Structure 1
Amino acid sequence: MTTSASTAVSQNRSVPVTERRFLVPFVLITSLFFLWAFGVNLNDILIPHLKKAFGLSDFQSSFIQVAFFGGYFLAAFPAGRVMERIGYKKGILTGLFLCAVGAVLFLPASSSRIYGFFLFALFVMACGQSFLEVAANPYVTILGPATSAERRLNFAQSFNAVGAVLSPIVGRAFILTGVEYAPAQIAAMSAAQMEAYRAAEASTVKGPYLLIAAIFIVVAVLIQLAHLPELQETANEAGAASLERNSESVLSYPHLVKGVLAQFFYVGAQVGVASFVIRYAQFSVPGTPAKTAALYLLLHQIGFMVGRFIGSAMMKRIAAPRLLSLFAAASLICATIALLATGLISVWAVVLIGFFHSIMFPTIFALSIRNLGTLTKRGSSLLVMAIIGGGVFPPIMGRISDASSIQRAFVVPLLCYAFILYFGLSGYKPASAPAMGSVSANNEGALA
């Protein structure tokens, strides 16, 4: 470890995660990380469930992620521009409203049994979550000392991991029916039997998504009633100069551009792996029922949650870029095992990837927006737009799976981890390193 890295780690041990004056806003914003993770990770249950309900191929079922992360991509930049005008709090309320609307749309989608309607509902919900991510991720990084920004975001994202763990538990209990038929049995069904079977499968999403909508509404009320200071990033030298540049000047920061690519590859790998954990377990251990295979998805997400808390603690002693590199290398090894081995050892390698995914998103995010000053919101928008990777790579994996096998599809995340490893080793370094901007609370601009 270099001297500068050692100094940074030494300073990080004594710096608090957040300041006392920001404690209430920090708690409220951290709760959002839990909420959107719960919604995102239910997609991993929806993929095998709607595949069965509509008789879809792996490629067709992966369009659940295309619709969802397409919403993230299309809404992210407008969300950033809107928040430049209305502030973080109103942006968060807008996101919560859209999330609730998207969740409610699952009711008519289920009744109509139109696959495209489900995709539209997911798209609307994702647009709302894009607003939440554009606001919450940078907001958390500036709710305290700049030197603990990566640790603070990792801590907040730990509760995102809790949502990721609970969603497959809820999905397995209330969405997956456990009713499975062999292809020959399905072929032997009459039209009426097939209609009843698929209608019953589609209807199980109503209760969970109605509850999700209600929770989003309750949280929106709490946020509205709370006092969230509207934080203003104080421009550092790079940020001050950027005020005189055009709107594209944010792309003049090479570390941000590389960070956007790293985030694109990370989210693609994370969503791709999670989307097909159930499918992979059934392939590697033939005869495994979907409900049993869903337990491996649960363990994958538990590893993700545990990794978030452990990773946040490890950053007190290990510099964030170094830890990111170690976790990327470990993920690459696990993906190689999944690609080459079979049986339980390969399934457990896929499960273990969840642990090593844990710190990637928040660490890439925090490293990428370093030294952006007044361009932080725009940089954050680009990083949230990079979440479209979650809609790009699962269909590629699905196509490879349909053409060959789900095992061969794991070459896709393997290549993603290689770029993340590069970013953690050297790609994160800013071209210049001006002093990081401070933060001030403009209480007059905050809504009571």
Structure 2
Amino acid sequence: MSKNKYLFAFALVTSLFFIWGFTYGLLDVLNKHFQVTLNVTKTRSTLLQAAYFGAYFLIGLIGVFVNKFDYKKGIIFGLLLFAIGAFLFYPAAESYNFNYFLLALFILAAGCGCLETTANPYVTVLGDPAKSANRLNLSQCFNGLGSFCGPFIASWLFFSDGNSDNLDSVKNVYLVIGVVVLAIAFLFIRTKLPEIKEAEAEHLSAEEDKKPLGQHPHFIFGVIAQFFYIAAQVGVAALFINYCTESGLKIDNALASTLLGVALFLFAAGRFIGTALMRIFAPQVLLTFYALVNVVLCGIVLLHFNWISIGALMGIFLFESIMFPTIFALGIKGLGSHTKKAASFMIMSIVGGAIVPAVMGFLADKYTTAFSYVIPMVCFVIVAWYGWRGYAIGLDPHDQNAGEKLQIDLSKH
């Protein structure tokens, strides 16, 4: 397969990262919007995250047992589910029923889960294995751009005059999303994509490829690290607007949504910066350093120093930017024919985003929103451990230098 064909496939698949990033960017603004329009509590509003990431868990679980599909079919199926969920937002908005929104979001997120289960591992094997982390971080840059655009559009549409107390803008936005996703699905149907055999792409021997998935500790710890990272990422964003509006600085919902957009811009910029820094530093080194910085920033958020703490909260987005793709790439590296199944487990670990925000919502309702940020602080400690040690634990004796080799290979590209 020529490099040009790999490049086109890479570009086409990378476009998906923007789409699901955009819908995720809308999600955190919907939390606050539904609190206003549907009169739900902060704890209940976090059921949006539970529905979204719970769907990821279900799709990942299915993928563990059914992983014989090729990448293209998985992507097309995901896009169709995505579109159905988006279209269901219209009747949900007409009914003003929060539970209907949860159902629509669950179906939409199931489509996103299919896309992530296929697109993330596909990008890692679509080229030089030594550049897998760099390649996935580059694709995830566009996910960050989508996440950045979502809150800006949402703050303008959902909280503008005449829209802050109704759901008309919500149903129209998701109607447009559904049409766009269907158009992309049609493009994938008409496009031939290269199907990669992972063992060959990673140059594994038959003996290495037959090693059971459970005997790869770097993968097991990667799943655990990913669970806590997603828990932190989703929790930090889910209550961002509440944190800002409760700061005593007279920040309204519209301004808080704009600040969230700026924070997600930092997230997107961090992806590009991180991809560049990986030409100098090993991914696991950056992962450890970034996670430790976020532990400190969470501490400042807990102290509630007005604008200083809001600045720290926004800074968390910058330093969490590389974590998902880096953990993902480190966790599935060298797994050969197990790659698709491993990717399914990685997607299942995203259920952390369904569980932890609810805990944060409970703490925010019972105590303060600021206090709830102790949860992501603990999560980032676990991520730092994975970057420092967990990614290399349990290597076979004949591969005892594999951890060092991984660092050298990834830092060169």
State the partner residue of 2:326.
Answer: 363
Structure 2 counterpart SS, 1:230: coil
Matched, 1:222 2:187: yes
State the partner residue of 1:97.
Answer: 80
Separation in structure 2 between the aligned mates of residue 321 and residue 371 of structure 1, nearest angstrom:
16
Separation in structure 2 between the aligned mates of residue 151 and residue 131 of structure 1, nearest angstrom:
22
Match of 1:70 among 54, 76, 84: 54
Deviation at 1:296, TM superposition (A): 1.4
Given that 2:9 and 2:193 are in contact with CA atoms closer than 8 Å, whether structure 1 keeps it comes out as: yes
User: Which AA in structure 1 matches 2:23?
Assistant: G
Match of 1:282 among 242, 245, 262: 245
Larger Rg: 1
State the partner residue of 1:389.
Answer: 352
Separation in structure 2 between the aligned mates of residue 178 and residue 45 of structure 1, nearest angstrom:
16
Deviation at 1:414, TM superposition (A): 0.1
User: Which AA in structure 1 matches 2:360?
Assistant: M
Q: Percent identity?
A: 37
Match of 1:163 among 146, 150, 153: 146
State the partner residue of 1:136.
Answer: 119
Structure 2 counterpart SS, 1:219: helix
Deviation at 1:243, TM superposition (A): 6.7
- Call closer, same or farther: CA 1:340–1:76 in 2, change over 3 Å: same
- Call closer, same or farther: CA 1:349–1:239 in 2, change over 3 Å: farther
Given that 2:331 and 2:391 are in contact with CA atoms closer than 8 Å, whether structure 1 keeps it comes out as: yes
State the partner residue of 1:346.
Answer: 309
User: Which AA in structure 2 matches 1:66?
Assistant: A
Separation in structure 2 between the aligned mates of residue 359 and residue 171 of structure 1, nearest angstrom:
25
- Call closer, same or farther: CA 1:293–1:302 in 2, change over 3 Å: same
Structure 1 counterpart SS, 2:389: helix
Q: CA RMSD in A?
A: 2.0
State the partner residue of 1:111.
Answer: 94
Given that 2:57 and 2:349 are in contact with CA atoms closer than 8 Å, whether structure 1 keeps it comes out as: yes
Separation in structure 2 between the aligned mates of residue 415 and residue 257 of structure 1, nearest angstrom:
19
Separation in structure 1 between the aligned mates of residue 325 and residue 131 of structure 2, nearest angstrom:
13
State the partner residue of 2:42.
Answer: 58
Deviation at 1:244, TM superposition (A): 5.8
Matched, 1:407 2:407: no
Given that 1:262 and 1:420 are in contact with CA atoms closer than 8 Å, whether structure 2 keeps it comes out as: yes
Given that 2:231 and 2:357 are in contact with CA atoms closer than 8 Å, whether structure 1 keeps it comes out as: yes
Given that 2:199 and 2:209 are in contact with CA atoms closer than 8 Å, whether structure 1 keeps it comes out as: no
Separation in structure 1 between the aligned mates of residue 217 and residue 159 of structure 2, nearest angstrom:
45
Structure 1 counterpart SS, 2:382: helix
Deviation at 1:227, TM superposition (A): 1.4
- Call closer, same or farther: CA 1:135–1:392 in 2, change over 3 Å: same
C-alpha offsets along residues 219-246 of structure 1, whole Å, 9 cap, x if unaligned?
111111111011111267977447767x
State the partner residue of 2:173.
Answer: 208
Separation in structure 2 between the aligned mates of residue 386 and residue 203 of structure 1, nearest angstrom:
34
Deviation at 1:285, TM superposition (A): 3.2
C-alpha offsets along residues 240-262 of structure 1, whole Å, 9 cap, x if unaligned?
447767xxx42221111111111
Match of 2:228 among 265, 270, 273: 265
Given that 1:240 and 1:373 are in contact with CA atoms closer than 8 Å, whether structure 2 keeps it comes out as: no
Structure 1 counterpart SS, 2:280: coil
State the partner residue of 1:327.
Answer: 290
State the partner residue of 2:411.
Answer: none
Separation in structure 2 between the aligned mates of residue 26 and residue 363 of structure 1, nearest angstrom:
18
Deviation at 1:295, TM superposition (A): 1.6
Separation in structure 2 between the aligned mates of residue 414 and residue 262 of structure 1, nearest angstrom:
14
Given that 2:14 and 2:139 are in contact with CA atoms closer than 8 Å, whether structure 1 keeps it comes out as: yes
Deviating 4+ runs (over 3 angstroms): 18-21, 79-82, 235-245, 432-436
User: Which AA in structure 2 matches 1:218?
Assistant: A
State the partner residue of 1:31.
Answer: 15
Deviation at 1:178, TM superposition (A): 5.1
C-alpha offsets along residues 391-447 of structure 1, whole Å, 9 cap, x if unaligned?
1111111000000000000100000000000000010115134799xxxxxxxxxxx
State the partner residue of 1:442.
Answer: none
C-alpha offsets along residues 278-311 of structure 1, whole Å, 9 cap, x if unaligned?
1111122342110011121011101000000000
Separation in structure 1 between the aligned mates of residue 205 and residue 220 of structure 2, nearest angstrom:
16
Given that 2:75 and 2:118 are in contact with CA atoms closer than 8 Å, whether structure 1 keeps it comes out as: yes
C-alpha offsets along residues 191-220 of structure 1, whole Å, 9 cap, x if unaligned?
xxxxxx99x522320111001101111111
Please report the TM-score for the alignment, with normalisation by the length of structure 2.
0.92
Please report the TM-score for the alignment, with normalisation by the length of structure 1.
0.85
Given that 2:290 and 2:319 are in contact with CA atoms closer than 8 Å, whether structure 1 keeps it comes out as: yes
Matched, 1:79 2:66: no
Matched, 1:123 2:86: no
Unaligned runs of 5+ in 2: 407-413
State the partner residue of 1:379.
Answer: 342
Separation in structure 1 between the aligned mates of residue 204 and residue 296 of structure 2, nearest angstrom:
38
